[in-house]
Amino acid sequence: QMCIRDRYKIDLRKRGGTVLLALDVGNTNIVIGILDGDKLIKSGRISTDIYKTEDEYAMNMYSFLRLNHALDIDGAIISSVVPALVRTLVKAVKTVCDVDALVVGPGIKTGLSIKIDDPAQLGADLVVGAVAAKEKYPQPTIIFDMGTATTGFVLDRDANFIGGIITTGLKTSINALTAGAALLPQIDISAPKKVIGTNSIECMKSGCIIGTACMLDGLIDKFEEELGEKATVIVTGGLGQAIAEQCSHDMIIDKNLLIDGLKIIYNKNIDTRR
């Protein structure tokens, strides 16, 4: 079967290494990254929809790659917290790029030591983020991922994954609040002018945005108390920057943490597949 790449040739710029397609599948969005060697060329987002077909995802993928002059893909890797989409996306990648995507899961080399009750329960996104944090930053490390859920997990001084917290994501909380309270409107994710709000929208922004920032600050204090030392704090996810800017602790905003983690995991496994 002829793949899309064979039917539509696009001249690429001179490349510096393996061109990798990385897909981080979340509950709300799929983050797509194109990497040329160690360099991230382009990243973007498409909506996660379990009802989309293989062909629909293939068309989304093809359009994104063609817009960025990167149809000539050498390899692909997928992490997903939506199991129902894995097979569909693997097929879509094969259709568009004619490569077999590596899927983060059991049997994949990560180099991560997981010290929790049941390592099999650890989501692929948390594994990928921890792998990147282990490689890129001093330990111990606290990693906050601000998406559909807010997660906060800890690597100790030896880069062991030792656990953390999961709570409701900011947008999830806002949606629940407006759905349950008829007089409260939807709000945009931006900081209020002051903490003590004087109207409904400002009060909601203060409660949701400043409240979430205060939660992160408090968790950092508790995590560091249990660790017995200061930690490097990393914030990622679609809402990470908006919240981190309101926190009192020093934080590194790393929007591409999971894409970098996927690249690292791909490199650890690619030689064994040849």
Tens digits of residue pLDDT in 181-217: 988 999 988 989 899 999 999 999 999 999 999 999 9
211-263 tens-digit pLDDT: 999 999 999 999 999 999 999 999 998 889 999 999 999 999 999 999 999 99
Average pLDDT rounded to a whole number, residues 87-107: 95
Which domains does the chain show, CATH number per domain?
A: 4-103 (3.30.420.40), 113-261 (3.30.420.40)
**Known active-site residue 117:** no
State the pTM of this model.
Answer: 0.88
- What are the residues whose beta carbons fall under 8 Å from the beta carbon of 168, sequence distance 6 or more? 149, 150, 176
pLDDT of residue 134: 97
Q: Give the three-class secondary structure for 239.
A: coil
pLDDT at 12 over 60: no
CA distance 254 to 180: 34
145 sits in which H/E element: strand 141-146
pLDDT tens for residues 28-66?
999 999 999 889 999 999 999 999 999 999 999 999 999
Which of 11, 24, 55, 125 is an active site residue?
125
Half-sphere exposure of 27 (CA within 13 A, CB side): 11
Helix, strand, coil distribution of the chain in percent, nearest 5: 40, 25, 35
- Indicate the average pLDDT of the chain: 91
Question: Taking Cα atoms as reference points, which of 238, 172, 234, 177 lies closest to residue 203?
Answer: 177
Q: Band of the pLDDT at 16, cuts 50, 70, 90?
A: low
Cα–Cα distance, 144 to 126 (Å, whole number): 10
pLDDT tops 90 at residue 272: no
